[in-house]
Structure 1
């Protein structure tokens, strides 16, 4: 019985490691990390970036598996965490859109010669306002 459980632990951790490696490879391929490093001009801290990305992935998986509650900072911590996650997701979406060349296609489809940045800003602000309305509890009551 112990051998079977040990095998299942090994198999689960191996499968999780492969999936996590695939996700991080996908993020690196579409250019999220290189673009952030390039925009912030922090090329000399590559080792730190790699370490923080790996630690973040491991801690995120552990907290998800074991459902570890975070009891610090209350709403302030939650706000900072939400802002950081929102920035990351925004960078991820823009990197994916840039990789797929979605922005030139959108501008050609809607016949927009100038001002695409305002369309993107309006979409982002609309998502922000919609999220704030939804999460403050004033939606659907």
Structure 2
């Protein structure tokens, strides 16, 4: 019985590692990390970026498996976490859209000469507003 549990633990950890490696490879392939480093002009801190990415993946997995109670200051921690995740998801979506060349095709289809940035901004603002309404309703209960 003990050998079976060890084998299942090994298989589960191996499969999780393969999936995580695939996700990180996808993020590197679409160029989100080099693009963020280029925008911030912090090329000399690449080792720090790599370390933070690896630690973020490890800590994210640990927090997903184990539930840690957030005591005093929990709202502040959750606010910082929410802003960080929102910024990351926004960068991921824009990097993916740019990689797929979706925005130029979209602007040609609707014959849009100028103002594409306002459409992108309104889509993001609508998503933000929808999220705020959703969470505000849940906080009232």
TM-score of the two chains, using structure 2 as the length reference: 0.93
1:83 aligns with 2:83: yes
Secondary structure of 1:86's match?
helix
Report the counterpart of residue 116 of structure 1 in structure 2.
116
Describe the superposition over 1:69-116 as per-residue Cα deviations: whole angstroms up to 9, x where unpaired: 333522122111111100000000000000100000110121100110
Matches within 5 A, 1:1-141: 1-137=1-137
Q: CA deviation at 1:63?
A: 1.1
Q: CA deviation at 1:67?
A: 2.5
Report the count of equivalent residues.
Answer: 139
Q: What is the Cα-based RMSD across aligned positions, in Å?
A: 1.4
Distance 1:80 1:49 in 2: 19
> Which stretches in structure 1 are left out of the alignment for 5+ residues?
none
Describe the superposition over 1:24-59 as per-residue Cα deviations: whole angstroms up to 9, x where unpaired: 000010011010000000111111111111111011
